[in-house]
Amino acid sequence: MRLATGVFSLGFLLTTGVALAADTTLELSIKDHKFTPAELHAPANTPIIITVKNLDATPEEFESKPLKAEKVIAAGGTGQIKVRALAPGRYPFVGEFHEDSAKGVLIVE
Residue 73 has pLDDT above 80, yes or no: yes
Pairing verdict, β 60-64 and 69-73: antiparallel
Please choose, from the candidates 52, 85, 88, the residue with its C-alpha nearest in 3D space to the C-alpha of residue 70: 52
Neighbour tally for 40: CB within 10 Å: 19
Residue that wins the pLDDT comparison between 12 and 51 = 51
Q: Categorize the per-residue pLDDT at 21 as very low, low, confident or very high, splitting at 50, 70 and 90.
A: low
What is the pLDDT, as a whole number, of residue 1?
Answer: 55
Q: What is the pTM of this model?
A: 0.79
% of the chain residues with pLDDT over 70: 81
CATH number for the domain formed by residue range(s) 20-108: 2.60.40.420
* Span 28-53, pLDDT tens digits: 999 999 999 999 999 999 999 999 99
What is the pLDDT, as a whole number, of residue 25?
Answer: 97
Q: Which are the contacts of 89, defined by CB distance < 8 A and separation ≥ 6? A: 107, 108
- Parse the chain into domains and list their residue ranges: 20-108
Q: Categorize the per-residue pLDDT at 22 as very low, low, confident or very high, splitting at 50, 70 and 90.
A: confident
